[in-house]
Amino acid sequence: MPGISDLPIIDYSDPDYQSEPFRWLAEKARQFPMARSERGVEILEFQMCRRFLVDRSFGTDHGNLVEKMELPPGRALDFKRRMILTQNRGETRKRLRGILTNLIGPAYARAMRRDISGVVSDLLKGLPDDVLDLKYGLTDLVPAGVYCTWVDTPLGDARFVADRSEDVLAIFRRDPDLTPSIVDAYDQLFGYVKAQLARRRENMGDDFLSRLIRVREAGNLSEDELEDFAVMLIEASTDNTSNQISIAVDRLTAMPDVWKEIGRDASLASAAIRECMRLWPRSISTSRTALTDTEIDGVSIPANTSVFASFGAAHRQADKFSDPHRFDLTRPVQPPHLNFGGGAFSCLGQFVATIEVEEAVSQLARRYPNLSMRRVEREFTAMFQTITVIEADLRGHAAAMV
Ligand code: HEM
């Protein structure tokens, strides 16, 4: 049976990847369904990605990443070893995932739409009639602001929440030089979360944090796990969502007719965001580790190999998505995009995140129908698309508040 060394090589440091990452990936996928790169095995073909995401011979890769990053002993390392992302299938994962699904699953997300809409509209009211750093002034603050409503703290904490989320997610850069700043950010987050928990326990309410404390009181979470959840939700919810909002605003304002249409008819936001997540996903790939010696499509994969499903490649496959590079508001819902992964490890916040992006885009388009970006800088790693700079000129562009 062929092995990994027989696979073609792809190199993410290729300058063409930086300039046209999704066309680059699509072209590789047109030539071969699987490849190898510096980080491991890459699955490029859509159906193979979907099968792989639910394949029980693969588990989470997060533990390997944590080991590679050499976190020193302490709260951050304990958290990383215990958190849901590091748990493979088994009782602990089942229990943690069950709790989170109840707390932030589809039913909760639907009920949250009104609150999310309120956070966005409060933030829009505060925007200056000026040149705006959109990431700093808005897109970071939407998910971080939603987190603030979860823990019932003032929106003023949103900046801290957003910045620390970005700091800790730097772990996916796989660069051990970043470890000290990641550990420092976790220390700050645990301090913050402990203070919020103490405050909440003196005055329990109906907010998310109070509900989490009740799960603890019912004996389904240890005290460490309770703190872990509160920190993990900052980590997982903020930076990814902020980037996906920035990506959507950048790409949709580059199509002024589409942008105006969404501003006139908010019901188009759902299809527009789905198409943005297909064409320009925040998550370009997700990872797993082979739990045993196994195989993918006739290629033997030894235990402990890191394997990546490349959404960036799969989303542009012509026999799955006709005219795949075209933005199409009428594209069928099936097959789905893979921006949130799949199977037992799929993103638990996908319903909340999608509503956040939809609300941010539709309200912004309604208030600023002529919005255009002054400057946008993007960075592409093998894992993520990140908007590092996004500046909008809001001077004189606001429509009357509705
Ligand atoms: C647009 C924004 C977001 C994107 C693109 C995103 C993407 C992802 C991806 C790709 C995974 C790994 C899935 C897999 O490997 O199959 C993941 C996992 C996860 N995400 Fe998200 N996410 C987003 C927002 C959120 C939000 C808002 C929350 C929480 C409210 C959240 C919570 C989680 C959790 C808890 C996991 C781990 C699930 C597990 O291991 O069982 N995410 N996310």
The tens digit of pLDDT for each residue in 109-143 reads 999 999 999 999 999 999 988 899 999 999 999 99
Q: Which domains does the chain have, with CATH numbers?
A: 4-393 (1.10.630.10)
User: In this model, does residue 207 exceed pLDDT 90?
Assistant: no
Q: What is the pTM of this model?
A: 0.96
What is the C-alpha to C-alpha distance for residues 389 and 384, in angstroms, rounded to an integer?
15
When pLDDT is averaged across residues 153-169 and rounded to a whole number, the result is 93
Closest CA to 319 of 53, 46, 49: 46
Task: Output the pLDDT for position 400.
Answer: 55
Instruction: Identify whether the C-beta of residue 49 lies closer than 8 Å to the C-beta of residue 43.
Output: yes
When pLDDT is averaged across residues 178-195 and rounded to a whole number, the result is 96
Structural tokens at position 242: 């902020």
Structural tokens at position 372: 């255009």
Quote the ligand 1 centre to 170 CA distance (angstroms): 15
User: In this model, does residue 98 exceed pLDDT 90?
Assistant: yes
Q: In which band, very low, low, confident or very high, does the pLDDT at 401 lie, cut at 50, 70 and 90?
A: low
Task: Output the pLDDT for position 174.
Answer: 87
When pLDDT is averaged across residues 225-250 and rounded to a whole number, the result is 95
Angle between the 208-217 and 179-202 helix axes, to the nearest 10 degrees? 80
Q: Which atom of ligand 1 is nearest to the CA of 238?
A: 27
Task: Output the pLDDT for position 402.
Answer: 45
Task: Output the pLDDT for position 72.
Answer: 95
pLDDT in tens, 311-370: 999 999 999 999 999 999 999 999 999 999 999 999 999 999 999 999 999 999 999 999
Q: What percentage of the chain carries pLDDT values higher than 90?
A: 91
Mean pLDDT of the chain: 95
Quote the ligand 1 centre to 342 CA distance (angstroms): 10
Question: H/E/C letters for each residue in the chain?
Answer: CCCHHHCCECCCCCHHHHHCHHHHHHHHHHHCCEEEECCEEEECCHHHHHHHHCCCCEECCHHHHHHHHCCCCCHHHHHHHHCHHHCCCCHHHHHHHHHHHHHHCHHHHHHHHHHHHHHHHHHHHCCCCCEEEHHHHHHCHHHHHHHHHHHCCCHHHHHHHHHHHHHHHHHHHCCHHHHHHHHHHHHHHHHHHHHHHHHHHHCCCCCHHHHHHHHHHCCCCCHHHHHHHHHHHHHHHCHHHHHHHHHHHHHHHCCHHHHHHHHHCHHHHHHHHHHHHHHCCCECEEEEEECCCEEECCEEECCCCEEEEEHHHHCCCCCCCCCCCCCCCCCCCCCCCCCCCCHHHCCCCHHHHHHHHHHHHHHHHHHCCCCCEEEEEEEECCCEEEEEEEEEECCCCCCCCC
Distance of CA 371 to the CA centre of its chain: 25
How many Cα atoms sit within 13 Å of 98 on the Cβ side?
10
pLDDT in tens, 264-281: 999 999 999 999 999 999
Distance of CA 10 to the CA centre of its chain: 24
Quote the ligand 1 centre to 233 CA distance (angstroms): 10
User: In this model, does residue 24 exceed pLDDT 60?
Assistant: yes
Structural tokens at position 232: 């993990």
Q: Which atom of ligand 1 is nearest to the CA of 53?
A: 16
pLDDT in tens, 371-387: 999 999 999 999 999 99
What is the C-alpha to C-alpha distance for residues 182 and 168, in angstroms, rounded to an integer?
5
Quote the ligand 1 centre to 21 CA distance (angstroms): 22
Which protein residue's CA is at the shortest distance from atom 36 of ligand 1?
Answer: 347
Peptide bond into 335 cis (omega under 30): yes
Mutation choice for ligand 1 from 140, 234, 347, 384, CB with most ligand atoms inside 8 A: 347
Q: Give the residues surrounding ligand 1 with Cβ less than 6 Å away.
A: 53, 84-85, 97, 100, 104, 233, 236-237, 240-241, 244, 282-283, 286, 339-342, 345-349, 352-353
Closest CA to 191 of 152, 249, 230: 230
Burial of 331: CB neighbours in 10 Å, binned 0-12, 13-18, 19+: middle
Q: Which atom of ligand 1 is nearest to the CA of 104?
A: 30
What is the C-alpha to C-alpha distance for residues 142 and 239, in angstroms, rounded to an integer?
10
Instruction: Identify whether the C-beta of residue 23 lies closer than 8 Å to the C-beta of residue 325.
Output: yes
